[in-house]
Amino acid sequence: MAVSIEWEIKGTEFANCNCIYACPCQFNALPDKGFCEAVAAFHIDQGRFGDIRLDGLRAVTMYRWPAAVHQGNGSMQLVIDERADPRQREALEKILSGQETEDMATMWWVFAAMSPNKHAPQFHPINFDVDVDARRARVDVPGLVVSTGEPIRNPVTGVEHRVRIDFPQSFEFAQAEIASGTSKTAGPIALDLKDTYGQFAHIHLSHKGRLN
C-alpha cells in the first residue's frame, strides 16, 4: 500500500482474547477454541499522524473471527477517545484500520484486512489504567467495555506467576508480559471473556511497522 502520510506511535497496550494463556496466535498455531475474539486498549504517550499530534489519546478495538484470524471474515469495532478533535479522530481511525500503512506492517493492518465487517467508529470517554511490569490494567468505556488484567496465579499457592513472550519478528511488540484477562463488552461485538489470555506491552509502531 502506498503511504502518503507518515505516522508514529509510542505507548502501552493491554489486550484480552478468548484463548488460553499461551495464545496460539503467537506460536503460529490455530485458536484453541476454533475461533478468535479479542478486545485491546491503547494509550498513546507520544504520537503523530503527519503534523497532527496524538499525545495522550486512547483507543479500544474489538474483534471477532469465526475461525483463525488469517482465515478472515471477521468483524471489528473501533472506539476512539472522545477528547480527540475531528482531525485526530480521522487520524486514529486511519491508523487503527490499517490505512496509511505499508502492507502487513502492523497488527492493525492485518486485523483490518481480515475483518471485512467493519462497524462505524464510536467516540466515547476511555478510562485506561495500566502497569505493564505489574501486569495489571483496567479499561472502562461506560456502557460499552469493561476489561481487566491481573497476574496469572499459581493454582495451588496463589503466588503470582510471571512469563513473557520475546518476539523479534512481531508486528506488534518486542516483548509482552502475559497475564489473565477478563472482559465484557456490549454493542455490535459483544464479548464475555473470563480468565483468558491477557497481554501487556510497550508498543512503538509506525507506517513502516514495529520500530523496537
Return the ∠ at Cα 188 (arms to 68 and 81), rounded to 5°.
100
Q: How many CB atoms lie within 10 A of CB 37?
A: 24
Here the CATH number for the domain that contains residue 167 is: 2.40.400
Residue 2 lies in a domain: no
Given this model, what pLDDT does residue 212 score? Answer: 83
Residue range 175-179: average pLDDT? 97
pLDDT, residue 44, reads 98
Under a CB-based contact definition with an 8 Å cutoff, are residues 20 and 198 in contact? no
- Each residue's pLDDT tens digit, 11-21: 999 999 999 99
Look at the chain and report how many structural domains it folds into: 1
Q: Mean pLDDT over residues 161-188, rounded? A: 96
For the chain, give the percent of residues with pLDDT over 90.
97
Q: For 36-60, what is each residue's pLDDT tens digit?
A: 999 999 999 999 999 999 999 999 9
Residue from 116, 127, 121, 40 nearest 86 by CA: 121
Residue 1 has pLDDT above 90, yes or no: no
What is the pLDDT confidence band of residue 2, given thresholds at 50, 70 and 90? confident
82 in a structural domain: yes
Domain span at 46: 7-210
The neighbouring-strand residues paired with 179 are: 198
In a domain, 1, yes or no: no
pLDDT score at 87: 98
Tell me, yes or no, whether 121 lies in a domain.
Answer: yes
Provide CB contacts within 8 A for 211, sequence distance 6+. 8, 204, 205
